[in-house]
Amino acid sequence: MAFKILGVGNALPKFMLDNQMLSKMVDTSDDWITSRTGIKTRGILTDEKLLDLSVAAANKALNLANIKADSLDLIICTTLMGDTISPYHAAMVQKSIGANCHAFDMNVGCSGFVYALEVASAYFKSNLANRILIVSAEHMSNFLDYNDRSTCILFGDGAGAVVLEKGENLLSMKLITAGDDSILRVTRHAGNFPYEKFGFNKKEKSTQNVWMDGQQVYMFAVNCLVNSIQDAAKQANININEIDYFLPHQANMRIIEAARIKLGIAKDKILSNIERVGNTTSASIPIMLAEYVSKFKRGMKLLLSTFGGGMSGGSALIKW
Ligand code: UT7
């Protein structure tokens, strides 16, 4: 026994930063960004908080599911960081939507949503919950250096949510962790504890919050998508051609296209919104689920596939 999805929701910032605006901030161009990534615009939080997007996405999912917040048994938020470190994000979502269940955050980089599905599935199997809300919400513009053209063009802010109930619709799951900080890092802000005064000399001085070796991450991403999709299909004992839609993590259109060609998947089975929203890390897949919900018919097979920092990745095959 695992879960079925009862409702989905998403929310994006009011302000969308387009490539033309970015090219006035750093040495780049619409042509470079579009041809190398497929991204045209991305949402940036201005006067809203991440909590506002999270609550909007959660309420949409609850409304679609026709479920009241006080009937939830658990809330899981996936995020690199909410508006504050403490309270953690899920606690503030719980308060804001009027739920009274327990709630916790998970940080698995871009892969958070798919990992949260596995945690939810384990809760259902152990009879610890009947209904779970997952909210994946990311404020990447908080971490980016808008002088660094190799990273600031890629990411956007956003939130996606799903309401799950006990059910039989998880067909298979393949998760990957390959711990490695040499190709992708998001470092923390340095505090101002005076280590040196007390004889310590270990204060890390981070000059850049988001750092990556783009080409290495690109190679990891393509391999991760291909391998985890093949493994998830094999585990469910189905052929990749039997899958109706693929919702891959939206990091770079070229990554998705390279994996699509390797796997021999028809173009119209790949869902994407990267052109408008950029890379919203762990919010990427639930944002797409909500955006494309009208396409999904009961019984269809959907493959949700992710990769990212950690390094991490994985695929979940679900029946709608
Ligand atoms: O969620 C997971 C997180 N990250 C990813 O998935 C990222 C994976 N990697 C990528 O998407 C790609 O590697 C990038 C989009 C980041 C970069 O594309 P690339 O085709 O691998 O470009 P590159 O790093 O090889 O750079 C090619 C050139 C360089 O100039 P030179 O050395 O050839 O003169 C860069 O300095 O493009 C330059 N460049 C830019 N030029 C204009 C790098 N960023 C930009 C930019 N605008 N924004």
The pLDDT tens digits of the residues spanning 55-103 come to 999 999 999 999 999 999 999 999 999 999 999 999 999 999 999 999 9
pLDDT, greater one: 32 or 198: 32
C-alpha distance from residue 290 to each of 19, 60, 296, 309 (Å): 25, 9, 10, 24
Count of other CB atoms within 10 angstroms of residue 291: 19
Q: Are 239 and 202 in contact (CB under 8 A)?
A: no
CA–CA gap between residue 285 and residue 288 (Å, rounded): 5
Q: Are 89 and 79 in contact (CB under 8 A)?
A: yes
Residue 306 CA to ligand 1 center (angstroms) comes to: 20
Q: State pTM to two decimals.
A: 0.95
Find out whether the beta carbon of 279 lies less than 6 Å from any atom of ligand 1.
Answer: yes
Find out whether the beta carbon of 149 lies less than 6 Å from any atom of ligand 1.
Answer: yes
CA atoms within 13 A on the CB side of 156: 32
Q: Are 313 and 225 in contact (CB under 8 A)?
A: yes
CA–centroid distance for 179 within its chain:
18
Which one of 36, 39, 113 would you pick to mutate in the ligand 1 pocket, going by the greatest count of ligand atoms within 8 A of its CB?
Answer: 36
Q: Is 309 helix (H, G, I), strand (E, B) or coil?
A: coil
Residue 218 pLDDT > 70: yes
Q: Any idea what DSSP says for residue 10?
A: E
> For ligand 1, what atom is nearest to the CA of residue 251?
6
Q: How confident is the model at residue 201 (pLDDT cuts 50, 70, 90)?
A: low
Q: In the chain, what percentage of residues exceed pLDDT 90? A: 92
CA–CA gap between residue 75 and residue 164 (Å, rounded): 10
Find out whether the beta carbon of 290 lies less than 6 Å from any atom of ligand 1.
Answer: no
Residue 193 pLDDT > 80: no
CA–centroid distance for 2 within its chain:
21
Find out whether the beta carbon of 110 lies less than 6 Å from any atom of ligand 1.
Answer: yes
Residue 38 pLDDT > 90: yes
Q: Is 243 helix (H, G, I), strand (E, B) or coil?
A: coil
Which one of 31, 210, 218, 220 would you pick to mutate in the ligand 1 pocket, going by the greatest count of ligand atoms within 8 A of its CB?
Answer: 218
Residue 304 CA to ligand 1 center (angstroms) comes to: 25
3-state secondary structure 120-186: HHHHHHCCCCCEEEEEEEECHHHCCCCCCHHHHCCECCEEEEEEEEEECCEEEEEEEECCCCCCEEE
